[in-house]
Amino acid sequence: MGLFDFVRDIGRKIFNSDSEANDKIKAEIESSLKGIEGLTVDYDPKSGNVKLGGATSSAEALQKAILIAGNTKGVANVTIDSMKAPSAEDQTEYYIIKSGDTLSAIAQHYYKDANKYPKIFEANREVIKDANLIFPGQKIRIPPL
């Protein structure tokens, strides 16, 4: 997998100093997500790059780990360093929240049905804690119907 870009100055602030970033990002992924073994996190404060390593048998777990790390304030991009994972070449799309967006409006755009917003919410539970609290610049998964 390649490089995933994020907005560096947007996201949840989970670390206060660069020296604690690796441990805090790793703890956030592990507390929110099951299915990744031997997870490693390497944060470069100069570039804002996070390299993830480990192993998973789930493309969905890999996608969610990338989003959890990337939607962290201070992270500009995420790369998969040595992670062993199945191909994530499925029909999942990604969307960057814009000002004024709602999950209903996003569901209407992608699914032609605003009432399908719970599908988007459930696919992003690890990065969206409340369906009414999304923020511009946040990157989310849009799973296929």
pLDDT score recorded for residue 90: 65
Query: Class of 93-142 per CATH?
Result: alpha beta
pLDDT given for residue 14 in this prediction: 95
What is the reported pTM? 0.87
Give the model confidence (pLDDT) of 48-90 as tens digits: 999 999 998 888 888 999 999 999 999 999 998 777 766 655 6
d(CA 52, CA 1): 11
pLDDT band of residue 34 (cuts 50, 70, 90) is: confident
Q: Sign of the C-alpha dihedral, residues 70, 71, 72, 76?
A: positive
Q: Which two tokens stand for residue 92?
A: 């999942």
What is the rounded distance in angstroms from the CA atom of residue 4 to the CA atom of residue 21?
A: 18
Domain-wise residue ranges, the chain: 4-80, 93-142
DSSP 50: E
Distance spanning both ends of the chain, measured CA to CA: 23
pLDDT tens digits, residue range 92-135? 899 999 999 999 999 999 999 999 999 999 999 999 989 999 99
